[in-house]
Chain A
């Protein structure tokens, strides 16, 4: 026992490490082989659930966006859906389509972020720079729609805050054509690069049974052959009207997870094109709130195609009840469980983020592999520490 203990070194791939993110990985290493790995999370815990209990329902909207900085629209959407279910309202159809458009744009640039992180962990600064550079056109699109680059706070209970600017569909089309051309370059330099294939194929294999048993979510789950996507299992917003296909792969290794994300980028582009072509006319805020706005402001709203948040929403009081909402964020299934008690603050907000459900994969996958596989598997899981720690 003591001889085996001496043989292994404990490597602290700690918070101060170029490739650890905001977390610590405590690895037991025997030569070049990793014997076990324990993730030590919690370095970016920002007490989102506790803060939600002291803020009003509307103030929680920017709060829940902040954990997952690369994919804020879907978190926003999950929370707003939970509030709407508590209230028993549904956003008007035009607002639903706008929410879908923003959610899919957010998903694309979150996947590009994940692919860039995988690239830099494998050692390719080119992939990293290209991925982050190619997020910019998408962020510009989002800025045109919402006014902010990353933390949009676009969706409010009952609708959205702004309407579609004129010419948006054409600009979106230009961006998507650019992205499709770039994806071809990526395939030659990054995805089908023999070095990347040697580093990711057969590495960190997650079997289908383990994925289901451990409750893994997102592209990590779909890369192991489980065709589960909340947009298909429990459709919300405009997804029932759109022609949506679930992307899966069978191998369950790092390469499969990477390819699932690439295919989902293409799928999201298709969804946005379809949504923009089918978007119906109508109001963007539910009448329960819009009729609480004085008429003078309502005319301004019509003219500017923006929403003036009424006092009824700012000091929203929801009668006692509870609701569950789930959305498919870019990294997986995001669950909101909201309990209200009649006061202007939520009584309990439970937010289970996809990265938190994927933490168990660190311990499970990074075993009997080599030290160099730690960043490869970490990058392929698209784990986002602030999202997991909330």
Chain B
């Protein structure tokens, strides 16, 4: 997985690295679709997690896709990550490349407000219909703890 990460990073002008449990490659948001296609062609056909991490002091939201394959020999995890500005978080949806990302992208839109352009259905998933207010997983939404 490390080699795949380095190959994608070098071809698309990003950076790569490794963390406990997975290798990662970081690309700018406009290169996400292309990077996803490269990773998909390398055989990683499904996404295990789509995570959006809110970083208010840097003013951006980081979006991470953890992709992997069910085939033997390719079962490591490769993370595709990018950062979008916090006040206008737009990203092309990767549902066309990885259909397994559909519900997870929808959940991250609902919780953090990242708009995945081209997603077939960006609607409420987990929150109640009458929920109002800012996207709950953002850091400025306070949770009262006893």
Contacts and interface: CB of A to CB of B under 8 A. Distances in A.
> Is chain B in direct contact with chain A in the complex (CB below 8 A)?
yes
Nearest to B74: A233
Interface stretch (A259-267, A306-314, A319-327): A319-327
Interface string B30-73: 00000000000000011111010110000000001010001010
Contacts of B143: 47, 50-51, 53-54
B137 interface: yes
A34 interface: no
A348 B63 CA distance: 12
Interface residues of B, number: 39
Interface of A: 41-42, 45, 47, 49-51, 53-55, 82, 85-86, 88, 212-215, 221, 226, 228, 233-234, 321-326, 333, 335, 337, 339, 347-348, 350, 352, 356-357, 359-360, 389-390
Nearest first, the 4 closest Cβ-Cβ pairs linking A and B are A215-B100, A324-B21, A42-B126, A215-B46
A390 B45 CA distance: 25
B20 A86 contact: yes
A326 B53 contact: no
Contacts of B66: 324, 335, 337
A338 to B, nearest CB: 9
A45 B20 contact: no
A213 B49 contact: no
B49 A350 contact: yes
B136 A42 contact: no
B123 to A, nearest CB: 10
Name A's interface SS: mixed
A352 B49 contact: yes
B15 interface: no
Nearest to B79: A324
Contact of A214 (B22, B100, B125, B137): B100
Nearest to A334: B48
A10 B70 CA distance: 37
A245 to B, nearest CB: 14
Nearest to A325: B21
Interface string B103-134: 11001000100000000000011111000000
A389 B126 contact: yes
A54 to B, nearest CB: 5
Contact of A215 (B47, B54, B107, B136): B47
Contact of A323 (B19, B47, B54, B70): B19
B137 A324 contact: no
